[in-house]
A and B are shown apart, each in its own frame.
Chain A
Amino acid sequence: MNKVEFKLCLEEKLKALPQNEIQKSVEYYLEMIDDRIEDGMSEEEAIIALGDIDVIVNNIMLDRPLSSLMKEKMKSTNGLKTWEVILLVLGFPVWFPLVMSFFAVIFSVYVTVWSIIISLWAVVFSLIIVGIVGVGSSILFMIRNGFSGLFILGCSICCIGLSVLAFFAVKFISVCLIKLTGKFLRAVKSIFIKKEA
């Protein structure tokens, strides 16, 4: 592949992006090729050194917000034909709920992840509170009935111990879940990119 072919190929793969974005990306990569040639490489070697063009396109696309990716995907059809408009209008009862449910799924995944995180932390805090209140109330119980007071004291100390263990476990789980949501968003974005590439 030579420089002109590379330019055309990149422009074609990025055609869904706004014109100034395409121009900026192409200029950047052409400058890289020129700099490598100046560094002693041949034109072909310089292009090969840039790596797979699909990876280049993927990296450009993945950095764009999801809403822009969807808009660009729709724009890439380059205008709608009459029968497509008719289909779009007639199919509204089908595609609209599908689009809505697509967003609802994304939203519910986020809500689920965050509710798991919040509920796990609620468990940790309730263990701490039960432990502290239990220790205090066990003194009152001990005055009335020594054994039940002692039992409550033991349970409360167990709760405090468990809360310390749970704190570290929940912290680890929270970090993992937050990372997972990041990966999920990237996966959703790549649906709109792979088909384009």
Chain B
Amino acid sequence: MDIQLRRGILDICVLKVLSRNDSYGYQIIKDVSIFVEISESTLYPILKRLEIGNCVTEYSVEHNGRLRKYYKITDVGKKKIEDFIEEWKEVMDVYKFIADEMGESK
């Protein structure tokens, strides 16, 4: 998959996971990697980017004697998911057109 496309999709996947409920790094990786491959080193810049863009906020919770950082989606983040879905409706129409053409030519 194209790097830019993958980056954009991963951002939305992380936001989608957080829209269900607040979550922490390792759990986000587990949830997202069901659909797209993601590693710790990929997730870190994504979370930072989303935080700078005010799409998520973070807070710490004590867990087994240590602090665990939880991420919470904001309204800006929710709006980003909605925009993504709207934009991809158009992309899916083009995809259908291309896939149908390919099917016919076979």
Question: Is A44 located at the chain interface by the 8 A CB criterion?
Answer: no
- Which residue from chain B places its CB closest to the CB of A27 in the assembled complex? B69
Chosen A-B contacts, 30 in total, with CB atoms closer than 8 Å, are: A25-B44, A28-B25, A28-B40, A28-B47, A29-B40, A31-B25, A31-B67, A31-B68, A32-B26, A35-B24, A35-B25, A35-B26, A35-B68, A36-B26, A50-B39, A50-B40, A51-B39, A55-B41, A56-B41, A56-B44, A59-B41, A59-B42, A60-B41, A60-B44, A62-B45, A63-B45, A63-B48, A63-B49, A179-B4, A182-B4
Contact bitstring A1-36, B, C-beta under 8 A = 1, else 0:
000000000000000000000000101110110111
The minimal Cβ–Cβ distance linking A62 to chain B, given in whole angstroms, is 7
Query: Is B66 part of the binding interface, using a Cβ–Cβ cutoff of 8 Å?
Result: yes
CB contacts (< 8 Å) of A25 on chain B: these are: 44
A32 contact set on B, CB distance < 8 A: 25-26, 40
- Range of interface residues on B (Cβ < 8 Å): 10 to 19
Residues in chain B within 8 A of chain A (CB atoms): 4, 24-27, 39-42, 44-45, 47-49, 64, 66-69
Q: How far is the CA of A50 from the CA of B26 in the complex (A)?
A: 11
The answer for the CA separation of A34 and B39 in the assembled complex, in Å, is: 16
B44 interface neighbour in A28, A34, A36, A38, Cβ under 8 Å: A28
Asked if residues B24 and A31 are in contact (CB atoms below 8 Å), the reply is yes
In the complex, how many angstroms separate the beta carbon of B16 from the nearest chain A beta carbon? 21
In the complex, residue of chain B having the shortest beta-carbon distance to the beta carbon of A49? B40
A59 CB contact (under 8 Å) in B27, B44, B64, B68: B44
